[in-house]
Amino acid sequence: MTDSTFLANKKQENKFYNNLFWRSQWLMFCTSYTKQQAVTFSWVMMPYLEKIYGKDSPEFYDAMLRHQDFFNTNVAMAPFIFGVVTSMEKENKAHGIELKTINALKSSLMGPLAGIGDSLLANGVRLIATGIAISFFKQGSWLGPLLFMLLLNIPNWGIKWFAGKYGYKLGNNFITDAMKSGTLNLITKAASILGLMMVGAMSAQYVSFSTVLKIKSASQVMNLQNVFDSILPGLLPLALVLGCFFYLRKTNKPVRVLVGIVILAFLLTFLGVTGA
């Protein structure tokens, strides 16, 4: 049965923010190459989805499976997305919305928030905390590790707490207005396009595949990689990504893809097609 009191008043909301804060600490506990934080994303959402859809209901399992899609963002900013998604799931139960909207919006938020969180915390606050603490480390003072821990974690935990709170409040108010005005469909399309752009950008940045094969013809030596680059820079990584995509869409067996890529890498390197 669904819980009609879930997020029905201020007390329930505060309990939700507190619970979300602590559960989100485990976001990096179980990650994988194929899904990154998707498993723990579903785990964090599990008690809220149970309250919204009812424990062991078909809608609950559908929602849990829906949130098994790839997810990866900055841990401190993640509660904002949890808050938005919770409000959307709650709205879906009450009035019904397009389910692809939830995942599309989630996917479109994770990239920008990851950039903001990494820049602010990993490349900003962390370096400042390190610089301040180093002077105490050199003196052998116990204040070094204490200051580093406080200067790093107080902003980190503060962002986590308020991100979840404002994520839910923003989503709760925005989704209702967007459904009435019809802008939710536009947001779905825009988020889907942005999600595809993010996949393309990540593929271009992280997938590395080139050949060292050279073909001798008469007195000339042709570098095959230069030929591919003249046709389309990044042609081989693109072909690899598309090949994996079509295979996964047909079979949905990512472990086979990973093993196949490892075998292919060894084979092509042994044959002298790829390598240093």
Average pLDDT over every residue of 108-133: 77
Query: What is the tens place of the pLDDT at every residue in 173-228?
Result: 665 565 566 665 666 666 567 666 766 777 777 788 888 888 777 677 778 888 88
Most trustworthy range by pLDDT among 2-11, 31-40, 192-201: 31-40
For position 156, what pLDDT does the model report? 85
Of the CA atoms within 13 Å of residue 187, those in its CB half-sphere come to 23
Average pLDDT over every residue of 106-118: 78
* Of the candidate ranges 102-106, 112-116, 173-177, 242-246, the one whose mean pLDDT is the lowest: 173-177
Tell me the DSSP string of the chain: ---TTTTSSHHHHHHHHHHHHHHGGGTTSS-BTTTBTHHHHHHHHHHHHHHHH-TT-HHHHHHHHHTTS-B---TTTHHHHHHHHHHHHHHHHHH---HHHHHHHHHHHHHHHHHHHIIIIIIIIHHHHHHHHHHHHHTT-THHHHHHHHHHHHHHHHHHHHHHHHHHHHHHHHHHHHHHHTHHHHHHHHHHHHHHHHHHHHHHHH-------EEEETTEEEEHHHHHHHH-TTHHHHHHHHHHHHHHHHH--HHHHHHHHHHHHHHHHHTTSS--
From the list 151, 154, 27, the residue with the least C-alpha distance to 79 is 27
Query: What is the tens place of the pLDDT at every residue in 41-79?
Result: 999 999 999 988 988 888 999 989 888 888 888 888 889
Average pLDDT over every residue of 156-171: 84
- Rounded to two decimals, the pTM is 0.66
Q: Decide which of 132 and 259 is more confident.
A: 259
Q: Decide which of 33 and 23 is more confident.
A: 23
* Of the candidate ranges 37-41, 69-73, 113-117, the one whose mean pLDDT is the lowest: 113-117
For position 69, what pLDDT does the model report? 85
